[in-house]
Each structure stands twice: as C-alpha cells, then as structure tokens.
Amino acid sequence: MFSLDDKVAVITGAAGGIGFATATRFAAAGARVVLADMADAQAKATEIGGIFVRTDVSVEAEVEALMQRAVDEHGRLDIAVNNAGMMIVGNRIMDEESDAYRKQFEVNVMGVIYGIRQAAKRMGTGGAIVNTASLAFQRSGSGISGYVISKAPIVNLTRCAAIELAPQGIRVNAICPSTTDTAMGWVNNYARISSPLGRVARPEEMAAVIHFLASDDASWVNGEAIVADGAIMCGPTPALQAAANAAE
Ligand SMILES: NC(=O)c1ccc[n+]([C@@H]2O[C@H](COP(=O)([O-])OP(=O)(O)OC[C@H]3O[C@@H](n4cnc5c(N)ncnc54)[C@H](O)[C@@H]3O)[C@@H](O)[C@H]2O)c1
C-alpha cells in the first residue's frame, strides 16, 4: 500500500521543509527521487539516495532540463511535485514601487505551470502531479497579498490541468497546507492558538498527504485540492477567543 516502487519522482523546493520531507518519504516508499531547488541540496539528496539538480523553477528552460535529467538518469518520469515557492512579507497593495507581485507570480504560478507542462511531456501514458498551494487560497492577510494571489490560482490551475491531462492518464492534485514548521512558515503563538490542535503542522505531515496523492492508491482522486489545516478553517478556537477577550 502506498508503494512508490519503481516510480521516478521529481520534487521541487526540496532543499528543506515540505519538499525535503516529501523526497525523504518518497525514497522510503521505494521511489527514485530527483531533488530540485535553487538552494544547494546535494548533500541532502545523497543522504536519501537521490540526485540533486539545481533549478530555478521560474525559468522554463531550467525546469525542462530538470525533468529531462530525471528521464535521462532513470529512463522514465512518474511523479512531479511542484512544491517550490516563495513568500514576500510586507508587500502592500498601495506600495507602487514593489516588484513583489511579479516575483511571486513568476515563482509560485509560472513555476507550477512550467512544472506541470515539462513533467507531463515526459510522463508518457500515466503519472501523478501534486502542486503545493496554500491555505492562503481561502484566507487573506495584510502585507501578503502578493503571496495570497500567487497561491490561490494553483487550486484552479490544478483543476484545469486535471481535465486537460486526464486523456494522458495523468492525475493532477494540490495540497493546501496551513502554517508548517519550515523556514517559510510563520511559527508563532498566534498560529499555534489558531489551531484546534494547538500547534502548527510538521513538514512530514504535509509529505504524508502528498505521498497519498502521488501514489496509485489515489487513482480516483483527481483535480482535488486537499486542505491540510488541522481544522483551522472550522472556526476560532477557545484559546484564540480567550486571548482576544483578555486583550479587551
Ligand atoms: N510553511 C508554511 O507555513 C506553508 C504554508 C502553506 C504553503 N506552503 C508552501 O509550501 C511550499 C514549500 O515551502 P516550505 O514551507 O517547505 O518552505 P521552505 O522555505 O523550507 O521551502 C521552499 C523551498 O523552495 C525553494 N525555492 C524558492 N524559490 C525557488 C525557485 N525560484 N526555484 C527553485 N526553488 C525555489 C527554496 O529554496 C526552498 O528550499 C511552498 O510552495 C510554500 O508556499 C508553506
């Protein structure tokens, strides 16, 4: 069950956080893993028996070279996890000078489009693609509009891709994580008490969902965006209400 034996998987944003946890889990499940990131992940790739390809996902030629490298190395490509992402905090709508919208769009949206396209071209007649969106597709915030509007489209993009690639036997799904304990995650007391479980997520918990979506066990799950938020969106927690009331 959930075996990835003989599967070849590319994971972007794999130098740390959710991406590395996913690559580690995939390798343990039998996959041959190709780790991609702008940052160096050579040692980490070696540690889990994979290979590392330095890649900027916002440059299509680099994503193309990445996916081709997986095929050259292992003869096939079965799984692509388009997980690389960036967040610029403090970018406000009224800030006319900011380049933050364009930058985040190029990495978080175009990076996923390039990943889907270049992976699907090489998947033959079957495969699984998982895109990392964010709970930010449902929730907004001050100073992160560039991030929010670069993550929300991933959900609809995933649905479009699921329809377009279904004739090729490729499933496309997304995960929408809440705050996760990674370099990017905003791990603070607000995040903890906003969660009914009283903590933020661990990257391994996101990797487990991605693993399911990437595996053949999810063969009837397609065009789906799995919200992995520990019930945060269910409503305010007693701890959050108490903190707000205490501040009155
Ligand atoms: N941590 C959270 O709270 C959280 C919540 C929701 C969604 N996410 C999403 O999860 C994904 C993984 O993030 P994480 O939390 O593991 O953080 P992270 O910072 O540990 O990982 C992100 C990785 O993406 C890489 N990256 C950034 N820009 C890149 C580019 N242009 N090309 C290639 N690699 C690039 C970074 O070097 C980094 O290794 C991201 O898409 C992020 O938006 C994270």
- Asked whether residue 68 is domain-assigned, the answer is yes
User: Helix, strand, coil % (nearest 5) of the chain?
Assistant: 45, 15, 40
Cα–Cα dist 97/137, whole Å: 25
- Asked whether residue 12 is domain-assigned, the answer is yes
**Domain containing residue 21:** 8-246
Which amino acid does the sequence have at 245?
Answer: N
- Asked whether residue 1 is domain-assigned, the answer is no
Cα–Cα dist 138/113, whole Å: 21
Cα–Cα dist 137/20, whole Å: 23
21 Cβ closer than 6 Å to some ligand 1 atom: no
16 Cβ closer than 6 Å to some ligand 1 atom: yes
- Residue 229, pLDDT above cutoff 90: yes
In CATH, what number is assigned to the domain containing residue 221?
Answer: 3.40.50.720
Banded model confidence at residue 186, pLDDT cuts 50, 70, 90: confident
Ligand 1 atom with least separation from CA of 206: 10
- Contacts of residue 68, defined as CB under 8 A and 6 or more positions apart, other chains included, come to 118, 122
161 Cβ closer than 6 Å to some ligand 1 atom: no
Query: Residue 85 is encoded by which pair of tokens?
Result: 């992402």
230 Cβ closer than 6 Å to some ligand 1 atom: no
* pLDDT at position 183: 96
- Asked whether residue 37 is domain-assigned, the answer is yes
pTM equals 0.98
| Closest Cα to atom 8 of ligand 1 | 134
Banded model confidence at residue 1, pLDDT cuts 50, 70, 90: confident
- Asked whether residue 2 is domain-assigned, the answer is no
Expressed in angstroms and rounded, the spacing between residue 19 Cα and the centre of ligand 1 is 7
Cα–Cα dist 173/132, whole Å: 9
Average pLDDT of the residues of the chain: 97
Residue 101 is a catalytic residue: no
- Contacts of residue 29, defined as CB under 8 A and 6 or more positions apart, other chains included, come to 2, 3, 4, 5, 211, 215
Residue among 178, 177, 197, 199 at smallest CA distance from 188: 199
Banded model confidence at residue 247, pLDDT cuts 50, 70, 90: confident
Q: What is the mean pLDDT of residues 195-199?
A: 97
Expressed in angstroms and rounded, the spacing between residue 122 Cα and the centre of ligand 1 is 24
| Count of the separate structural domains present in the chain | 1
Which of these ranges, 118-122, 179-183, 186-190, 193-197, has the smallest mean pLDDT?
Answer: 186-190
Query: Residue 84 is encoded by which pair of tokens?
Result: 């690389």
- Residue 35, pLDDT above cutoff 90: yes
Substitution candidate for ligand 1 out of 57, 86, 148 with most atoms within 8 A of CB: 86
* pLDDT at position 5: 97
pLDDT tens digits along 109-162: 999 999 999 999 999 999 999 999 999 999 888 999 999 999 999 999 999 999
Task: Give percent above pLDDT 70 in the chain.
Answer: 100
Expressed in angstroms and rounded, the spacing between residue 86 Cα and the centre of ligand 1 is 5
Cα–Cα dist 215/28, whole Å: 13
Apex CA 132: angle with CA 129 and CA 136, to 5°? 145
Residue among 110, 82, 113, 84 at smallest CA distance from 17: 84
- Residue 97, pLDDT above cutoff 90: no
**Residue 121, exposed/middle/buried by CB under 10 A (0-12, 13-18, 19+)?**
middle
Expressed in angstroms and rounded, the spacing between residue 184 Cα and the centre of ligand 1 is 6
- Asked whether residue 174 is domain-assigned, the answer is yes
* pLDDT at position 106: 98
* pLDDT at position 241: 94
Given the residues 101, 114, 147, 190, the one annotated as active site: 147
- Residue 175, pLDDT above cutoff 90: yes
82 Cβ closer than 6 Å to some ligand 1 atom: no
pLDDT tens digits along 37-95: 999 999 999 999 999 999 999 999 999 999 999 999 999 999 999 999 999 999 899 98
Residue among 62, 70, 66, 82 at smallest CA distance from 32: 70
Cα–Cα dist 165/59, whole Å: 22
145 Cβ closer than 6 Å to some ligand 1 atom: no
- Asked whether residue 3 is domain-assigned, the answer is no
